[in-house]
Amino acid sequence: MSCFETSTFLKNPQVFKTEVFIEAVKKFNWEYEIKSDNEVVVTKIPNTNLHGEYAIKIKNGTVTYNSYYLKNGKELIKELQSEFFVLNVEYAKKTILTEFESVGFSLKKDYDFEPNEEVKEKFFMVGYSKLENEDEKRTEIEFSILKDGTIISDSNYIPYDVHELADKAMEGIEKAFGNTRREGIEIKRKEIPVRYKNKSYCSASNKIIAKN
């Protein structure tokens, strides 16, 4: 996590936390069976004939589909994929909240935001610096979630100690999503305003540099 940065987290659709997967499945009214702590099987999807076989299963965080019975037609596959877009959005939001709240950030809703075809969620995670000489203790990091579960974060100035907490949370999101951000591709630096160039900030190499 850097000051004055935008980051994109691309969701690997095969990586899920089991407990989040179960919550999402419940909302879709799909029938499921818990095989073990690490394996859950979706046994029935409305209007789909599975001939007694499973539809989808998650095992050790990896989601797989029953390609034999779910390849009956492109429309069926598209319908299933559209449901997973919804699931991905929910998974993305839960992941952000879990990782940032675990390091002391809190949620701030964006009451002016209205979901649209492309962007389904927008909110802020708020953190506070404990540095005595810090004159801008409050930090807001904006998060947008696109229709397929992609996360886009946007940050401005972040105090040194809040940096470290945000770094940990962002690493947790990467791990949960199964994809690593790349400098200059998913991670893009914004120009640092003159007033902040003598304060703490992250360099282009993503290394925290403390300035007094």
Per-residue pLDDT of 139-197, as tens digits, reads 999 999 999 899 999 999 999 899 999 999 999 999 988 888 998 899 998 988 888 87
Alpha carbons 54 and 44: distance in angstroms, whole number: 7
Alpha carbons 97 and 103: distance in angstroms, whole number: 10
The SS3 call for residue 24 is helix
Per-residue pLDDT of 124-137, as tens digits, reads 999 999 999 899 99
Per-residue pLDDT of 2-35, as tens digits, reads 689 999 999 777 777 787 788 888 888 889 999 9
DSSP string, 88-104: HHHHHHHHHHHHHHTTT
pLDDT of residue 27: 81
DSSP string, 31-56: EEEEEETTEEEEEE-TT---TTS-SE
Per-residue pLDDT of 51-78, as tens digits, reads 888 888 889 888 888 888 776 545 655 6
Q: What is the DSSP letter of 167?
A: H
